[in-house]
Amino acid sequence: MFSLALNRLESGLDGMRCYLAANVIARDLAAVASCGMEPDFLQFDLASLRSAAPDATQWRVLDHCAAVGRIYALFEQFCEALLAEWIAFRTDGVQFSELPDKMRVSYAEQFPSMLSDTFKVRYAHIVASDMIGDYHHALSGGRNFKLTPEVLTRHNANLRWLDVVEIFNRSGLTGLDEWISQHPKLTLHFETKKRIVEQTTAKLAEFVQYRNDAAHGAVVVDEILGSEDLLDRANFIRALCGAIDQLVLKESLAYLLETGHLAQIGSVTEVFSNNVVVCILEGARIERGSKLFLATERTCDEFTVASLMLENVDVEEAVLAKPREVGIKFAEKPPAGAKVYLRAKA
């Protein structure tokens, strides 16, 4: 449901992983290439690579600067894009007065500052008169109003953890600290369930400092990160953003459940290998390709039904008027003990 921001982040991180791996190979080739030792068809290219390549230290500095800058940019873009998706979702079909108090108050508080920032290059895409008109329409009680997400996501400094928590709080998404403190993606990354928030705060602050030093030319050669360390930072950002994305999905499901656009149709009773589960479900019609939401106290994600089984027989669809045991194979690994939700069709 909120897949665009996360997919873009993961695609960018995958690209960075390939870039770093390719550069390691290129550095190795440049280091060993010597004209006359290689096959004829490679001699010219390898000799050109060796003569054009920077020395090994400068190459590593360039890798460091490019990687930390790109990874941070992907992280910031993810946070802003995800919140823009959430704000559009939460304002759809309601009046401004029906939004969470924190979102309404924060929008009013941040609006003047954002208005004064519209002249900056970063916000050149925002037209001040449109922003004012949209806000006036919202305050007038219209249902098809539009908020400017940058009002709530605006930040003057790079996003350290407290800044991330702040812009999510402004947008009506509270409890971020508590959510990540036991999230499996982060406990797996840090290999512990203890002090996750503190470790996240410290690691993100360190990474932002690397990014700032790289951007301002203050890189100390002794402190540049090697390929493995850079990949570790990328994996950290991937885990953190995956956990954040699931919080937004969880809050979205709670809202849809409250407004009658989502139903809990059962729960997962057993989990087997190959992404197969047994569920007790009722009050739903599901089919191959259906999207189900599975939520536990610590996770929340969307899963695609790859296949269905009723009474040990593969079926294309299942109409479940009464509680029935259903075997489902998902496209991805599901969590144990999850509640199962289905969104009502529009």
What is the full DSSP assignment across 29-40? HHHH--TTSS-H
State the average pLDDT over residues 30-42. Answer: 63
Which CATH number do you get for residue 286?
Answer: 2.40.30.10
Q: Which H or E run contains 64? A: helix 56-91
Is residue 324 over pLDDT 60?
Answer: yes
Last residue of a domain, one of 221, 237, 258: 258
Rg (Cα) of the chain, in Å, rounded? 25
Is residue 14 within 8 A of residue 235, CB to CB? The reply is: no
Whether residue 121 sits in one domain with residue 242: yes
Q: Which of 258, 277, 295 is the C-terminal boundary of a domain?
A: 258
Provide the residue type at 91 as one letter: T
Strands annotated E in the chain: 262-271, 276-281, 284-287, 291-295, 300-310, 313-315, 317-320, 324-330, 339-343
Instruction: Report the 10 Å Cβ neighbour count for 42.
Output: 13
Burial class (CB in 10 A: 0-12, 13-18, 19+), 135: buried
Say yes or no: 197 and 253 in one domain.
yes
pLDDT average, residue stretch 161-189: 97
Polymer length of the chain: 346
Q: How far apart are CA 332 and CA 314, in angstroms?
A: 19
**What residues make up the domain containing 290?**
263-343
Q: Which of 223, 258, 293 is the last residue of a domain?
A: 258
Q: What are the counts of helices (DSSP H) followed by strands (DSSP E) for the chain?
A: 11, 9
Tell me the average pLDDT across 215-220: 80
Name the residue with higher pLDDT: 222 or 186.
186
Terminal C-alpha separation, the chain: 14
pLDDT for res 27: 82
230-240 average pLDDT score? 97
User: Rounded mean pLDDT of the chain?
Assistant: 92
Give percent of the chain with pLDDT exceeding 70.
95
pLDDT score for 113:
95
Say how far apart CA 316 and CA 311 lie, in whole Å.
13
| pLDDT of residue 31 exceeding 70 | yes
Q: What is the full DSSP assignment across 185-214?
A: HHHHHHTSSSSHHHHHHHHHHHHHHHHHHH
pTM (two decimals):
0.92
Q: Are residues 79 and 188 in the same domain?
A: yes
| Per-residue pLDDT at 321 exceeds 90 | yes
Q: How many domains does the chain have?
A: 2
Q: Measured between alpha carbons, how far is 252 from 92 in angstroms, rounded to an integer?
A: 12
pLDDT of residue 215: 87
Same domain, 106 and 243: yes
Contact status, residue 4 vs residue 88, Cβ threshold 8 Å: no
Residues 279 and 198 in one domain: no
What are the beta bridge partners of residue 280?
267, 325
Q: What is the pLDDT of residue 41?
A: 61
Indicate if 129 and 180 belong to the same structural domain: yes
Is a pLDDT exceeding 90 seen at residue 34? no
Helix, strand or coil, per DSSP, at residue 177: helix
- The stretch 315-335 carries a mean pLDDT of 93
What are the CA-CA distances from residue 336 to residues 201, 278, 291 (Å)?
29, 10, 18
